[in-house]
Chain A
Amino acid sequence: MKFRLYRYNPESGEPPFMQDVELDIDRAGTMLLDALIAIKAQDETLSLRRSCREGVCGSDAVNVNGRNRLACITPLVELKEPVEVRPLPGLPVIRDLIVDMQPFFRQYRSIKPWLVNDAPEPEVERLQSPEDRSRLDGLYECILCGCCTTACPSYWWNPETFVGPAGLLQAWRFIADSRDEASAARLDHLEDPYRLYRCRGILNCVDICPKGLNPAEAIGRIRTQLVKRRV
């Protein structure tokens, strides 16, 4: 099977290049990550991130044939040859398929991804009704792989000021949480021309999310809250 891999070693002083690799591998039931690990076994200089190998940790997000995907849950049979594997777009490349996720996590941190509740702590836990809990479905499942944010042209243009789909999905996850008491402050923080309103409804995030989540819907719900308190 033919692969084209993005290679970049900043220590070599050479510019990035695409490396053609041929691998003898059984496609049936094999994921792209297995192929990349097999290629790394042949050439140990190939650098990539991976951990859980089952689509939960989100560390092996790469751009495959122009589409952001998790290598560990991408079957080889689905891919057209040569399989072009690049690092996630829109983030600085550290080496080969490894990108610097700092800009992504900086935006994630900016939405304060933790419960804010100054009420005295209860004996056991802060309880939620099943209805309140169900509002978090489709939100808490995000694994922060960065596939959506790095596929968003609005994020490419404004990585320092636009929170991006993953961060906004999490922002809504905490605004929607019945145990959180900082919804007003969270909405205040998002109400400027950039942090949320750079979303132009391109919907790459919805198309690309490997967990099938819908950041655009979450952004729409935040916007509805912002409009409701305005009018």
Chain B
Amino acid sequence: MKVTAGSHTGTGTWLVQRATALVLALAMPVLCAYVLAAVPADFAAWRALFQPQAMRAACVLTAAALALHAWVGMRDVFMDYVRPTLLRLTLYLAVIVILAGSVAMLAATLWSLP
């Protein structure tokens, strides 16, 4: 059967991967430095660390960038190694659910802090 590769999505996903890599390269050291500057010893200190709305937003945005970056990477791995369409779609769906669920859970956790 003829192989028909198509859909003009290559550049878009490539840009997403590069852009999110840039966001992660900038945000991760800043977030790590922020936490390491005052390593929380107990729950009260940990809560205080994540109390500012800006910190919460930065964490969720970084996690979203990480999820998008991981999605493109996992999609590439599946495209290379998983050929049966149904299995590949199932794996795509599983990764999307796990990544989107993780980001949603992080947001819910941060904004549910007492």
Contact = CB atoms under 8 A, between A and B. Distances in A.
A194 interface: yes
Given A157-B81, A160-B3, A193-B79, A188 B15 contact: no
B90 interface: no
A228 B49 CA distance: 41
- What class of interface size applies to chain B in its complex with A? 10 to 19
Contacts, number: 49
A226 B5 contact: no
Nearest to A160: B3
A161 interface: yes
Contacts of A226: 10-11
Contacts of A6: none
B11 A227 contact: yes
Contacts of A223: 11, 14
B22 to A, nearest CB: 14
Interface residues of A, number: 21
A194 B8 contact: no
Closest 8 CB pairs of A and B: A197-B10, A194-B5, A160-B3, A226-B11, A157-B80, A161-B5, A192-B5, A191-B8
30 contacts: A154-B80, A157-B80, A157-B81, A160-B3, A161-B3, A161-B5, A188-B8, A190-B10, A191-B8, A192-B5, A193-B9, A193-B10, A193-B13, A193-B79, A194-B5, A194-B79, A195-B5, A195-B10, A197-B13, A197-B14, A198-B79, A198-B80, A200-B76, A223-B11, A226-B11, A227-B11, A227-B14, A227-B15, A230-B11, A231-B15
Given A190-B10, A227-B11, A230-B11, 16 more contacts: A157-B81, A158-B79, A160-B3, A161-B3, A191-B11, A193-B7, A193-B9, A193-B10, A194-B5, A194-B10, A197-B13, A198-B80, A223-B11, A223-B14, A226-B10, A231-B15
